[in-house]
Amino acid sequence: MRIEGFELRRVGMPLVSPFRTSFGTETERDILLVRAVTDTADGWGECVAGADPLYSSEYVDGSADVMRRFLIPALERVGTAAEVGEALKPFKGHRMAKGALEMAVLDAELRAAGRSLASELGSTRDTVPCGVSVGIMDSVPELLDAVGRYLAEGYVRIKLKIEPGWDVDVVRAVREAFGDDILLQVDANTAYTVADADHLARLDEFGLLLIEQPLDEEDVLGHADLAKVVRTPICLDESITSADAAVAAIRLAATSVINIKPGRVGGYLEARRVHDVAVAAGVPVWCGGMVESGIGRAANIALASLPGFTLPGDVSASARFYETDITEPFVMRDGHLDVPAGPGIGVAPIPDILDELTTSREWISV
Ligand code: NPG
């Protein structure tokens, strides 16, 4: 395969409701899509960097810049998706940008070969269970209302975003309203310090599946210390930037569950390696979400169908975030989504909708 170049497309996708986390509130997603044009087929990738560097150091203008100036030119002699990671290795960081380019090349390669991403990654299921991530709200009644609606829609697992001042009482209210049987977990997005260990241990009485990333991204040892105080399993997200980072965190007993987000680790091929090292260590994984459009959502569903993904992921229907998706929408049935079976990621943008939501486009030859 010869890569001719990439189209960078920015799309502005309004969210159905504001999504608040401990690091900010989003009302619209500014998504960078990349289309790889090759001599055999085109392929799509989605960069999950946010508009601002608040979840991680990456941000979407920075991703576009590094792709344009460094990453895309380095792909001149690359002929397969498996070579992309190696070709981009000299450039430090920027995993979300690298992951998007690799995804587009992988999609093109698989489309040309008529193979699905799911089968390429090692999928063992046709459907995946859907979890939903519920943002911080202005009041507890408002939150209970939202949780009630998601449960009625069929979501099989609820994740509550937490931060200091919106944690123990909120979890208690959800347990009191919906009982002990619902699968429930919390996500702090690094909002606490190890000095909060005793406070976080108060969550133990609620039978949570896990506490996700309570401490700073770089505080892996802090998580190991915290895990000795808190009985609820600690799950790392932001800290797990590669399969090597996963191995280290597991060995340090800083994490007993792992959230795998392909963008955060530099792509779907590294995401599979994280899956593999976790499975080898007996550590369950689940697929995270970054409020993706149908492009990234399709690929996440494929990844979530690998055998080590034994917990429901942040894999929700398109309608959870978007009234109009840029692909055919993903619709949940009985709390599950079908794994796309077509070539590559199995979906493509609908041209008219894509054009309508596009805010800028740019062509870059390799
Ligand atoms: O279902 O796509 C989804 C969203 C899940 O809560 C979710 N994602 O910290 O995991 C996270 C959070 C996030 C969203 C992080 C957007 C960064 C950007």
pLDDT tens by residue, 123-146: 999 999 999 999 999 999 999 999
What's the pTM? Answer: 0.97
Q: Give 80's pLDDT tier (boundaries 50, 70, 90).
A: very high
Atom 5 in ligand 1: residue holding the nearest Cα? 289
Q: Give 83's pLDDT tier (boundaries 50, 70, 90).
A: very high
Q: Give 273's pLDDT tier (boundaries 50, 70, 90).
A: very high
Is 98 a residue of the active site? no
Rounded to 10 degrees, the C-alpha dihedral 315/100/31/37 comes to -120
Residue 297 DSSP SS3 = helix
Average pLDDT for 157-177: 98
Average pLDDT for 258-270: 98
For the CA of 315, the nearest atom of ligand 1:
1
Average pLDDT for 240-247: 98
Atom 9 in ligand 1: residue holding the nearest Cα? 189
Q: How far out from the chain centre does Cα 226 lie?
A: 24
Per-residue pLDDT at 304? 98
**Site to substitute for ligand 1 among 23, 46, 133, most atoms within 8 A of C-beta:** 133
Per-residue pLDDT at 343? 98
Set 92, 98, 159, 261: catalytic member: 261
* Cα–Cα distance for residue pair 325/364, rounded to 1 Å: 26
- The closest of 63, 172, 158, 44 to 108, measured between CA atoms, is 44
Average pLDDT for 314-322: 98
Q: 118-338, superfamily in CATH?
A: Enolase-like C-terminal domain (3.20.20.120)
Model pLDDT for residues 355-364, shown as the tens digit of each residue:
999 999 999 9
Model pLDDT for residues 294-310, shown as the tens digit of each residue:
999 999 999 999 999 99
Q: What percent of the chain has pLDDT over 70?
A: 100
Could you tell me the distance, in angstroms and rounded to a whole number, from the CA of residue 112 to the centre of ligand 1?
32
Could you tell me the distance, in angstroms and rounded to a whole number, from the CA of residue 207 to the centre of ligand 1?
22
Per-residue pLDDT at 205? 98
Class of domain 3-114+350-365: alpha beta
Set 98, 159, 161, 228: catalytic member: 161
Q: Show the tokens assigned to 309.
A: 């993904």
* Cα–Cα distance for residue pair 107/344, rounded to 1 Å: 5
Per-residue pLDDT at 109? 98
Per-residue pLDDT at 118? 98
List Cα–Cα distances, 192 to 52, 162, 318, in angstroms.
21, 10, 31
* Cα–Cα distance for residue pair 189/3, rounded to 1 Å: 37
Average pLDDT for 190-216: 98
Could you tell me the distance, in angstroms and rounded to a whole number, from the CA of residue 187 to the centre of ligand 1?
9
Residues facing 160 on adjacent strands: 134, 186
Average pLDDT for 219-238: 98
Kindly provide the b/e burial profile for residues 240-275, where b requires at least 16 CB atoms within 10 angstroms of the residue's own CB. Answer: bbbbebbbebbeeebbbbbbbbbbbbbbbbbbbbbb
Phi then psi dihedrals of residue 335, to 5 deg: 75, 15
- The closest of 350, 285, 244, 329 to 16, measured between CA atoms, is 329
Q: Residues enclosing ligand 1, CB less than 6 A?
A: 21, 50, 55, 133, 187, 189, 237, 288-291, 314, 316
Could you tell me the distance, in angstroms and rounded to a whole number, from the CA of residue 222 to the centre of ligand 1?
23
* Cα–Cα distance for residue pair 364/74, rounded to 1 Å: 12
Per-residue pLDDT at 154? 98
**Site to substitute for ligand 1 among 26, 189, 291, most atoms within 8 A of C-beta:** 291
Domain ranges of the chain: 3-114+350-365, 118-338
**Site to substitute for ligand 1 among 57, 58, 290, most atoms within 8 A of C-beta:** 290
Other CB atoms closer than 10 Å to residue 209's CB: what's the count? 21
Model pLDDT for residues 8-35, shown as the tens digit of each residue:
999 999 999 999 999 999 999 999 999 9
Per-residue pLDDT at 44? 98
For the CA of 135, the nearest atom of ligand 1:
6
Is 261 a residue of the active site? yes
For the CA of 133, the nearest atom of ligand 1:
6
Could you tell me the distance, in angstroms and rounded to a whole number, from the CA of residue 48 to the centre of ligand 1?
10
Phi then psi dihedrals of residue 261, to 5 deg: -120, 120
Q: Show the tokens assigned to 254.
A: 């800083």
